[in-house]
């Protein structure tokens, strides 16, 4: 992004021992001092369960770390501020619990092949567990399948909830995020009106689900009409151009929903250029720090904020619980919530 940062994992835990890396290389028994889940990892994952993180922690307690454990996180581009917060949560929790850790990032949001290469590399660098935020919903499935076969639990952080048996998803419900945005707009437009949506990359699970959720939410409010919806592929400049064209074609648009905050900044610029700031609602997604500043300045109405730091930390916890042989729900829910002018002052820095 030019002016503002953009705001959008899976873990596999294996047992290993590689002296060169002071970590572990996969063995059936596991290295000295490191727990190894017995039996099929899938038996430790309740695939049908979706449980709030606070309830999971209350049930399983604090996880135990070990210096013989190495957790690896394959993330997306760190030029997107959101993934930096996700990484921060992962690394801080791993450090607190005394386990080794390593982060693997990619160049940009479209680097699917690069991310797959990084995941393959991580799986061969003595990682006890793989955490990942896949760019494509199925792009890392081969790596996850191989890892699980070696008793390396797999946890997906935030985006592409997978279907590989034995994997865990830690993050919010993207469908609910989109629906929350629609419901919020409905409360601000009791008389209804025309709305538009700026979509993320069509290959992204988050983009698809947020869009589906938003449309589902609008369907509950007959007086809201979706008149335009187009992908800007998470790009701020492209979002500004698209929003400008939408406002030109439909000058009576009352609200925009942007599937991330980075694109929302472009939409805000388009709204400002039409002298409509404060007259057209603008709801973003993610809750990155700059979005909160824009809400305080009156340039954005709200954002559906996620909790990437909590997600990253919870991914570490889930990996360690599995390595200890504890049963974990297939979906550890870290819910998103609305931030607007009423509560933005409660979140002055960073992200939850």
Does 24 have pLDDT greater than 50?
A: no
Which pTM does this prediction carry?
0.81
Range(s) of the domain holding residue 155:
19-171+307-334
Q: 153 and 284: one domain? A: no
pLDDT of residue 80: 87
pLDDT of residue 99: 97
Does 293 have pLDDT greater than 80?
A: yes
Q: 311 and 165: one domain? A: yes
> What is the mean pLDDT of the segment spanning 49-70?
95
Q: Which CATH number covers residue 271?
A: 3.40.50.2300
Q: Over pLDDT 90: what percentage of the chain? A: 80
Q: CA-CA distances (angstroms) from residue 334 to 155, 214, 331?
A: 14, 19, 9
Q: 83 and 148: one domain? A: yes
Of the pLDDT bands very low, low, confident and very high (cuts 50, 70, 90), residue 40 is: confident
Q: 286 and 296: one domain? A: yes
SS3 of residue 343 by DSSP: coil
pLDDT of residue 39: 57
Q: 71 and 217: one domain? A: no
pLDDT of residue 276: 98
Q: 31 and 165: one domain? A: yes
Q: 37 and 162: one domain? A: yes
Q: 45 and 194: one domain? A: no
Q: 159 and 42: one domain? A: yes
In a domain, 259, yes or no: yes
pLDDT of residue 67: 92
In a domain, 319, yes or no: yes
Q: How many domains does the chain have?
A: 2
In a domain, 299, yes or no: yes
Exposure string for 204-228, b = 16+ CB within 10 A, e = fewer: bbbbbbbbebbeebbeebeebeeeb
In a domain, 286, yes or no: yes
> What is the mean pLDDT of the segment spanning 74-81?
93
Does 3 have pLDDT greater than 60?
A: no
In a domain, 32, yes or no: yes
> What is the mean pLDDT of the segment spanning 217-224?
97
pLDDT of residue 36: 52
In a domain, 211, yes or no: yes
Q: How many CB atoms lie within 10 A of CB 313?
A: 24
Q: 300 and 187: one domain? A: yes
Q: 32 and 161: one domain? A: yes
Q: 146 and 180: one domain? A: no
In a domain, 287, yes or no: yes
Beta bridge partners of residue 171, listed in sequence order: 333
In a domain, 350, yes or no: no
Does 209 have pLDDT greater than 60?
A: yes
pLDDT of residue 163: 82
pLDDT of residue 2: 37
- Strands (E) in the chain, as ranges, are 45-52, 70-77, 100-106, 129-132, 154-157, 167-171, 193-199, 224-231, 253-258, 281-286, 302-305, 328-333, 337-340
Of the pLDDT bands very low, low, confident and very high (cuts 50, 70, 90), residue 4 is: very low
pLDDT of residue 110: 84
């Amino acid at each position: 992004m030019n002016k503002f940062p953009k705001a959008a994992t899976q873990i596999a835990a294996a047992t290993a021992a590689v002296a060169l890396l002071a970590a572990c290389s996969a063995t059936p028994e596991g290295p000295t001092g490191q727990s190894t889940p017995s039996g099929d990892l899938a038996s430790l994952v309740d695939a049908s369960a979706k449980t709030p993180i606070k309830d999971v922690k209350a049930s399983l307690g604090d996880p135990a770390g070990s210096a013989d454990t190495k957790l690896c996180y394959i993330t997306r581009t760190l030029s997107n501020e959101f993934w930096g917060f996700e990484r921060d949560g992962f690394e801080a929790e791993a450090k607190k619990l005394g386990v080794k850790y390593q982060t693997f990032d990619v160049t940009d949001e479209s680097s699917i092949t690069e991310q797959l290469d990084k995941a393959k590399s991580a799986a061969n660098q003595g990682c006890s567990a793989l955490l990942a935020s896949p760019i494509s919903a199925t792009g890392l499935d081969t790596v996850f399948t191989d890892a699980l076969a070696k008793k390396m639990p797999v946890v997906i952080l935030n985006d592409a909830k997978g279907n590989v048996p034995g994997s865990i998803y830690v993050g919010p419900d993207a469908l609910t995020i989109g629906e929350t945005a629609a419901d919020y707009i409905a409360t601000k437009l009791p008389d209804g009106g025309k709305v538009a949506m700026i979509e993320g990359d069509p290959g992204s699970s988050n983009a698809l689900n947020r869009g589906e959720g938003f449309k589902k939410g609008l369907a509950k409010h007959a007086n809201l009409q979706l008149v335009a919806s187009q992908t800007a592929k998470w790009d701020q400049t492209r979002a500004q151009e698209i929003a400008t064209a939408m406002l030109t074609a439909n000058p009576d648009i009352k609200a925009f929903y942007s599937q991330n905050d980075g694109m929302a900044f472009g939409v805000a610029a388009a709204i400002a250029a039409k002298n409509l700031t404060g007259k057209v609602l603008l709801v973003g997604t993610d809750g990155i720090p700059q979005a909160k500043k824009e809400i305080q300045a009156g340039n954005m109405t709200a954002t559906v904020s996620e909790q990437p730091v909590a997600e990253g930390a919870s991914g570490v916890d889930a990996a360690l619980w599995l390595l200890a042989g504890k049963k974990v729900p297939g979906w550890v829910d870290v819910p998103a919530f609305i931030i607007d002018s009423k509560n933005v002052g409660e979140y002055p820095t960073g992200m939850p």
